[in-house]
Structure 1
Amino acid sequence: LELGSSYTLEWTQQPNYDSRFNCYPIANGTQEDCEELGCVWDEVESDLEIPSCYFDSDNPYTIEEVEYTSSGLVANLTLSSNVTALNGNYTQPISTLRLEVIYHLNNMLQFKIYDYANSRYEVPVPLNLPSSPTTTESDRLYEVTVYKIPFGIQIRRKSTGTVIWDSKLPTFTFSDMFIQISTLLASQYIYGFGETEHTMFRRNMSWHTWGMFTRDQAPAYKMNSYGHQPFHMALEEDGNAHGVLFLNTNAMDVTFQPTPALTYRTIGGILDFYMVLGPTPELVVQEYTELIGRPVMPPYWSLGFQLCRYGYRNDSEVAQLYESMKAAEIPYDVQYVDIDYMERQLDFTIGTRFSGLPALVNRIKEEGMRFIIILDPTISGNETDDYPPFTRGVEDDVFIKWPNTDDIIYSKLYGAHAAFPDFFRNATVAWWKREILEFYDNPNNSSRSVKFDGLWIDMNEPATFLNGAIGGCRNDLLNMPPYVPYLGYRSQGLIVETPCMEGQQYLSDGTPVRHYDVHSLYGWSQTRPTLE
């Protein structure tokens, strides 16, 4: 280059798509939809997974003052400007919220955002928390910073300075039926969330979204399936690990993007996060299970070889199978029967083709084997003959009903008008235990007692063979909410092969809850009294 001469410099600037956060996650959004929200529209034809509609402004919440204590902090959030709702009044952001951060343990903290002016559903599952925080500032593995304008939370690992949560991002919103929060991640090494089928253990961070809402869905790519596990473990670049539980049971989805960042969207409840600091993956698992409860210690025999299938024609076929397995000297410890053994798939019955089942179970057990039977949660309500489990269930008021009525919600399962027990209710727990015990030890005919060793409880997503209810659902808002997460068959809403979301349930203390909120806890609520 010569001093005093003029030169032209040219370069090609590549846009940074990785930092985009989706402003319109509803399917088939248009440029008009996007711009109504005050966001930017720019389609990337080379990669349609990159959001075309994205934020270019801060989130609208601010904080004026933070109140610090030795065990955490409290602050009120204020909506600082008018915001256009994503899709109607039920997604209009709530104007005032409260943030609570609790330093429970030196390796575990909780941060919670909720509407302090109005009561909202919160997950009724108890966690193992200390009665009062037991931490000291010098021993905590983390430090928390709250940003005031715009609102955000940052959590940093003290030993390394690594930021492991940073939600000072434009996506944050909190409304009645649409809650969203994003965080920057410490790395792209994220594991967890389910139950969905993935192609690898580590989550794919290239603009993938996964839904969570329990459903009787065989594993398939990007299809929400049987369980609801809003927990992930993250490995930091230096090998340290931490875990995050999002304690929320409403239908939700999570989006991973290569920033790296993670966005949570849920359609009810509150934001309630628990973070454990490890710092090793093994310690993260230990700390997480200490929080939610350790797995049940299985009986020794249940670790043996087990044989289970659907389609036995009668008890003679099971007996012949048992003899053939012994003759072939195939290792064999536990035998199952599926719904074949029941009379027309009715719980707590023995079909005529399986009348010899009680004696067969006794004989197998006398020879050192174990036996497991299946039970479904639903109870038929349209039997022409007396069906005691239903009759007694009605007497004890155990079934989920239409709101503000005394009418049971019926759906279809195996041809029956299926009623769904509300396992949160104390009366239902007592009824269910009694039915199990009397099937095991028949008080009227001991020869009909089935001395099973274990119960296989199935179809408690809960599952139906009909979307919603016989005659249809009655609350379009709950069954097809303003935002439907990225679930399988998304265009059909929340009632795919499950009952209506407006079903009225009651917690053990009598608090009313909607099936919309506790749907993904149905299996958990049945498992507890079954185990007891």
Structure 2
Amino acid sequence: MILLTSALFFVLGHVMSQTPDNDRINCYPEKGAVPLQTACVSERGCTWANDTDHPKVPICHYPADYGYEVTSKTRTVHGYRVQLRWKTGQSCAFSTPVQTVTLDVEHQTNNRLRFKFYDQSSPRYEVPMDMPGPDTAASPEYEVGIPDSGLFYINVTRRDTGTVIWDSSFGGFTFADQFLQISTKLPSRYVYGFGEHEHATFHHDLNWRTWGMLTRDESPGPPVQETAADGTMYDVERNNYGVHPFYMAMEEDGNAHGVLLLNSNPQDVTFQPKPALTFRTIGGVLDFYMFLGPSPEEVVQQYTQAIGRPFMPPYWSLGFQLCRYGYKNLEHIQNVVDSMRNYNIPQDVQYADIDYMERQLDFTLDHTNFHGLPAYFRQLQDEGMKTIIILDPAISKNETNYPAWDRGVQMDVWIKNEDQSGPAYGKVWPEYADEFLPGKMENASWDFQVENYRSLVGFPDFLKPSTHDWWHEQIVDFYNDPTEGIRFDGIWIDMNEPANFIPGNYDPTTNSGKCGNNIWNNPDYTPWVMGDLYSKTICMDAHQEGTDGTTYKHYDVHNLYGWSQTPTTLRSARVATGKRSIVVTRSTFPGSGKSGGHWLGDNTSKWDHLHKSIIGMLEFNLFGIPYIGADICGFWGEPDREMCWRWMQLGAFYPYSRNHNQKDVIAEQDPSAWGPEFAEASRAVLLTRYRLLPYLYTLFYEAHTKGSTVVRPLLHEFRTDRNAWTVDRQFLWGPALLISPVLEQGATSVTAYMPDARWFDYYTDSEVSSSSRGSNVTIPCDMDCIPLHVRGGYVIPTQEPATNTKTSRQNKFEILVVLNDDESAEGRLFWDDGESADTIESGDYLLLELRANAGGFTTIVTHKGYQPDSTTTIGSLKVLGLKSTVGEVKLNGVSTSRYTYRQNVLHITGMNIDLAASHEIRWSKTTSAAVHLIPARWQLLFVFAVLCALLT
């Protein structure tokens, strides 16, 4: 009986599972799959275990011995080369397994590890992205474990702590032609990253959540429902405009590491409560880069060192920006700008959306409604403002004498259809000319408009060098055109996923889109993305070309479209303007931050999008794109007054601060549109932003030169505080400024977490009670309030604000010193002319080290390649947190009476010292607080009066 039972268990070993629920890797991962026991066991070689009550636990899962075997492992100069063989007799549900896989392990640096799985006998697509090669790794912070024989797995251990940060011994590892899968255990439940999606929290939900990654013209929002094979409905998370297969994970002891899968094919990632995650992609290779930190901030610095440091924005681009899709005419724009000025609301940038174009054609001007726009934009520039125009990539072919199309044909710039017989046509914004639209229906449905009004378009292939030359020519010519052109200062590129209003390439027989039924458009496994791979874009079998003549399927490089358009757009804008410019792009990929910023897409005027915009900011700083923000007050829908009020307060602290909304909304939502009270509240919070711009600009210098984040979560600064690991309703500017916005309707207070540090209220200079450290505090907050706290130990350079940065840059600097418990503080100030290109690379800048202690403050010029105007001086110094009263102040050795000391705040005014020189300010301590609470010049009179009174 015992033998019979044992034999039965062996025969049914793939039916009755001993695998714990949270260890199971799904063997039916496709969208809408209905697992079948026979197929699970016989066709897929997996284990059937319908023995769980949890609806998300896989009932068909991979056995632990599924995968590849190690056949050899040899040392190389920088690590190992391992040969793997597909286990005999195994099945693969999707595509054809590669029988022999090569793994190269490279110890690239002490804190960067690369391990890459590929087919050595048959070259496969790899991302055409410059990544650093191996350098010296004399003392790597990691150990890599791979067995010499038997079932393959790879683990990575942090040397100094013994923490295992990667462990693929789960089973399920597959390297098939169009299905590549690997799983890893995670060292904790705190994982951040992967995008672009709308996430409810900054740290991921590990409850069997799957996120698809494929660039798509898709607004943020809740999951959408699709229909399973058995007719039931299931949720699919929205895949948005960018793809970022990068995550950062915390380890239980507060260390952090990051992992990039350098793969641009359609893919998804699944989290499970083990904690663990599974990568799946349907092409290319598995090319992983691991960054050892150990701090979260160091993880990002190491990541951006590999993919490229963020670009340095011009100073003006940190000012407030205003846009709307749906400006009716030039007068509409003028009225908005005038209204902003009437209320003295700061504004640096005015946009023109596609309304300014003739029928939404790039590089044209609507002379009926916007005839005077070029002259008006020049007027704004003369008055100290800047302008940005939008450009979409799709170019209409249904025109006569249209240089953008004609030159594109001559220079052969278009993405081709599958057989390369011509461009892969789609339909996007451009409309047919009026003569082709007899009886146009003004209120026609969207589908009717696309089918009957939209012209055919070609999509530039931005992987080709000739396309870069063509795009550059169009931008520069448009800038300089005396009749059609606009003298812009920056460019906003949209619709570059690339977006298409029909599914696939244009089919004249249906007047809609269609794609061939092949392995590219309809692979065996479709990742968890919305609809088909070609929904809202062109066919995956379209043909593209690379810089060296390499040919690609759009299937491989679709996710690189915006990434490939951004650098050439920035270069063209810089050449056209002759200055440092800016590009804001909708579609992004790792490395996009080198050339552009990003906004969080077509969000909605809902309260929960305030919170989600913070999460998006944190994620994109993690991705190396710190110039980031959301459409303030929301793009879709009409915001209510209170929500827009609170959103303006929050948006004043986006690195990229822009108010923008949709065309068909009746009401205006710019800060001047809501009446005097709203305008004054917006003015006040924007003036606070403008006062802090020197600090923000210096943070961007740090990002550009060191790869640091600009906006960062609390966990980056307080990584040993586990309470900080889940805070995502507050955020920091750099290490020193804590922002705690109101995010709920009707709220008159904020519950804010105060990490264990010395904190001061930015507005009142009062110190937060030490008993509040490491706890939540409730802060009263009326409608004119957004709580700001400054952290002890830091010096923050500020400047007297104005209504645009051209004016504010001419004002005096004000230095805010915030002492820590040891009565010390430090900071930096980066300063240049704010708009010349490559000032850092050419050395044309000023860099100051700012240091303070209990007895004084010094500025030290560490680089002097730029001389500010003589009026640009340090006018005042404020010191918070002194523990003794002040008796005498000396400025560069000379006593001064221009100071006050009240309530532990030393405020020195009227200094007017040269910004570009080193200075020393010293103060002496005294125990007589009664005397030194008043200006020093009155102290002798005070003493004299006391003596007189005694004598009397």
When the two structures are superposed, what TM-score results if normalisation uses the length of structure 1? 0.93
d(CA) in 1 for partners of 2:407, 2:27: 51
What is the identity, as a one-letter code, of the residue corresponding to 1:478? W
Corresponding position of 1:56: 63
Matches within 5 A, 1:128-147: 129-130=132-133, 132-136=134-138, 139-147=139-147
User: What are the superposed Cα offsets for residues 246-298 of structure 1, whole Å, 9 maximum, x if unpaired?
Assistant: 00000100011111111000000000000010001111011111111111111
User: What are the superposed Cα offsets for residues 78-97 of structure 1, whole Å, 9 maximum, x if unpaired?
Assistant: 1121322214xxx1211011
Find out whether 1:525 has 2:564 as its counterpart.
Answer: yes
Task: Measure how far apart 1:34 and its partner are.
Answer: 1.3
d(CA) in 2 for partners of 1:438, 1:516: 33
**Secondary structure of 1:81's aligned partner:** coil
d(CA) in 2 for partners of 1:308, 1:486: 34
User: What are the superposed Cα offsets for residues 33-88 of structure 1, whole Å, 9 maximum, x if unpaired?
Assistant: 3122122223356322111111224123111221113511101111121322214x
d(CA) in 1 for partners of 2:556, 2:271: 25
d(CA) in 1 for partners of 2:19, 2:534: 41
d(CA) in 2 for partners of 1:207, 1:180: 16
Matches within 5 A, 1:115-154: 115-127=119-131, 129-130=132-133, 132-136=134-138, 139-147=139-147, 148-154=149-155
Find out whether 1:508 has 2:521 as its counterpart.
Answer: no
Which deviates more from structure 2 when the two are superposed, residues 62-71 or residues 310-319?
Answer: 62-71
Corresponding position of 1:177: 178
- 2:72, 2:84 within 8 Å by CA — same for their partners in 1? no
Which deviates more from structure 2 when the two are superposed, residues 474-483 or residues 450-459?
Answer: 474-483
Matches within 5 A, 1:55-454: 55-87=62-94, 91-127=95-131, 129-130=132-133, 132-136=134-138, 139-147=139-147, 148-221=149-222, 222-352=237-367, 353-383=369-399, 385-414=400-429, 415-442=454-481, 446-454=482-490
User: What are the superposed Cα offsets for residues 123-182 of structure 1, whole Å, 9 maximum, x if unpaired?
Assistant: 00112x14x42011xx21001111232111111100011111111221100011100001
Corresponding position of 1:486: 528
- 2:195, 2:242 within 8 Å by CA — same for their partners in 1? yes
- 1:475, 1:502 within 8 Å by CA — same for their partners in 2? no
In structure 2, the CA distance between the partners of 1:44 and 1:328, relative to structure 1 (3 Å rule), is farther
- 2:214, 2:266 within 8 Å by CA — same for their partners in 1? yes
Corresponding position of 1:468: 504
**Secondary structure of 1:477's aligned partner:** coil
Corresponding position of 1:5: none
Instruction: Return the match for 1:496 from 527, 531, 535.
Output: 535
Task: Measure how far apart 1:475 and its partner are.
Answer: 4.5
**Secondary structure of 1:502's aligned partner:** coil
**Secondary structure of 2:519's aligned partner:** helix
d(CA) in 1 for partners of 2:377, 2:189: 52
User: What are the superposed Cα offsets for residues 497-524 of structure 1, whole Å, 9 maximum, x if unpaired?
Assistant: 0111111000111100111000000000
What is the identity, as a one-letter code, of the residue corresponding to 1:82? G
- 1:502, 1:515 within 8 Å by CA — same for their partners in 2? yes
Instruction: Return the match for 1:40 from 40, 47, 61.
Output: 47
**Secondary structure of 1:397's aligned partner:** coil
In structure 2, the CA distance between the partners of 1:268 and 1:15, relative to structure 1 (3 Å rule), is closer
- 2:64, 2:170 within 8 Å by CA — same for their partners in 1? no
d(CA) in 1 for partners of 2:469, 2:126: 25
d(CA) in 2 for partners of 1:460, 1:70: 41
- 2:267, 2:281 within 8 Å by CA — same for their partners in 1? yes
- 2:395, 2:405 within 8 Å by CA — same for their partners in 1? yes
Find out whether 1:455 has 2:455 as its counterpart.
Answer: no
**Secondary structure of 1:111's aligned partner:** strand
**Secondary structure of 1:526's aligned partner:** helix
Task: Measure how far apart 1:405 and its partner are.
Answer: 2.6
d(CA) in 2 for partners of 1:499, 1:312: 30
**Secondary structure of 1:193's aligned partner:** strand
d(CA) in 2 for partners of 1:21, 1:511: 36
Find out whether 1:31 has 2:33 as its counterpart.
Answer: no
Task: Measure how far apart 1:477 and its partner are.
Answer: 1.9
**Secondary structure of 1:401's aligned partner:** coil
Runs of 4+ in 1 over 3 A off after TM superposition: 43-46
d(CA) in 1 for partners of 2:354, 2:301: 37
What is the identity, as a one-letter code, of the residue corresponding to 2:350? Q
When the two structures are superposed, what TM-score results if normalisation uses the length of structure 2? 0.52
- 1:60, 1:81 within 8 Å by CA — same for their partners in 2? no
Task: Measure how far apart 1:16 and its partner are.
Answer: 2.6
**Secondary structure of 2:146's aligned partner:** strand
Cα RMSD of the aligned pairs, angstroms, is: 1.5
**Secondary structure of 1:223's aligned partner:** coil
d(CA) in 2 for partners of 1:154, 1:518: 30
User: What are the superposed Cα offsets for residues 353-401 of structure 1, whole Å, 9 maximum, x if unpaired?
Assistant: 1111111111111110000000000001122x22110011001000011
**Secondary structure of 1:354's aligned partner:** coil
What number of residue pairs does the alignment pair up? Answer: 506
**Secondary structure of 2:414's aligned partner:** coil
- 2:238, 2:529 within 8 Å by CA — same for their partners in 1? yes
User: What are the superposed Cα offsets for residues 466-492 of structure 1, whole Å, 9 maximum, x if unpaired?
Assistant: 111111112432112110011123xxx
**Secondary structure of 1:448's aligned partner:** coil
- 1:402, 1:409 within 8 Å by CA — same for their partners in 2? yes
- Which of the two has higher C-alpha Rg? 2
d(CA) in 2 for partners of 1:16, 1:469: 46
Instruction: Return the match for 2:21 from 17, 20, 35.
Output: 17
Unaligned runs of 5+ in 2: 1-16, 223-236, 430-453, 508-513, 572-952
d(CA) in 1 for partners of 2:329, 2:386: 19
- 2:67, 2:172 within 8 Å by CA — same for their partners in 1? no
**Secondary structure of 1:24's aligned partner:** coil
Unaligned runs of 5+ in 1: 1-12
